[in-house]
Amino acid sequence: MMRSIALAAIGISVSFFLSSCSSLSGDDSQYSALSKPQQEKLEKKTVDYAARMPQQITARGEDVIIVNPRVHAWGAYDPAGNLVKGGVATAGGDWCPDIHRPCHTRVGSYRINSLGTAKCKSTLYPLPHGGAPMPYCMFFNGNQALHGSYEVVDGNESHGCVRLHVADAEWIRFNFAHMGTKVIVESY
């Protein structure tokens, strides 16, 4: 008898679990049942940041990485101007309270002049001694770099670097960028 009740309970639990893991398309009641943080997390996972970037740009005859702080995205373009890959980008913020000044990523056209490893770390932040992880850093303008981070958001809040998901930074570092790759930071 106890075994039958336990098996019935397991069956109900499995049935509930399977129905709660089903797709959220069609019936919005499952989506509505989620808490606000759960909804935001789901939405962030489903955003196609590459779609925020042009699928084609004017051919430049070289690989180019474009960062657009207005839409919080980056795109890697081949020499013919085709978007190869893109993703979310967190550029420099309007204000950094720890340094008491704006910290936008400088707008302009640059070239990658340093390629780092998974162990790359900031020499400046956090204050006063640095040490923040910057995996797969690719410096392009003084102390500004494209790099991986676990603090990538749909917004601009870095100290001036361009934060990317670690997997995206690793892809760029080993599959796209080389010394001299052009990086264009568009206006805010």
- Which own/partner contact pairs does 171-176 have at CB distance under 8 Å and 24+ positions apart? 171/85, 172/65, 172/76, 172/136, 172/138, 172/146, 173/115, 173/116, 173/136, 173/138, 174/136, 176/63, 176/65, 176/76, 176/84, 176/85
pLDDT at 45: 60
Residue 22: band (very low, low, confident or very high) from pLDDT cuts 50, 70, 90: very low
Domain ranges of the chain: 2-46, 49-185
pLDDT at 43: 53
pLDDT at 127: 94
Is the pLDDT score of 7 beyond 70?
Answer: no
Residue 17: band (very low, low, confident or very high) from pLDDT cuts 50, 70, 90: very low
Q: Please, where are the H alpha helices in the chain?
A: 2-20, 28-33, 36-46, 166-175
Mean pLDDT to the nearest integer, 45-55: 90
Q: The domain 49-185 is classified under which CATH number: 2.60.420.10, 2.40.440.10, 3.40.50.720, 2.10.109.10?
A: 2.40.440.10
Is the pLDDT score of 38 beyond 80?
Answer: no
Longest Cα–Cα distance of the chain, Å, equals 75
Give tens-digit pLDDT for 104-153. 999 999 999 999 999 999 999 999 999 999 999 999 999 999 999 999 99
Is the pLDDT score of 164 beyond 60?
Answer: yes
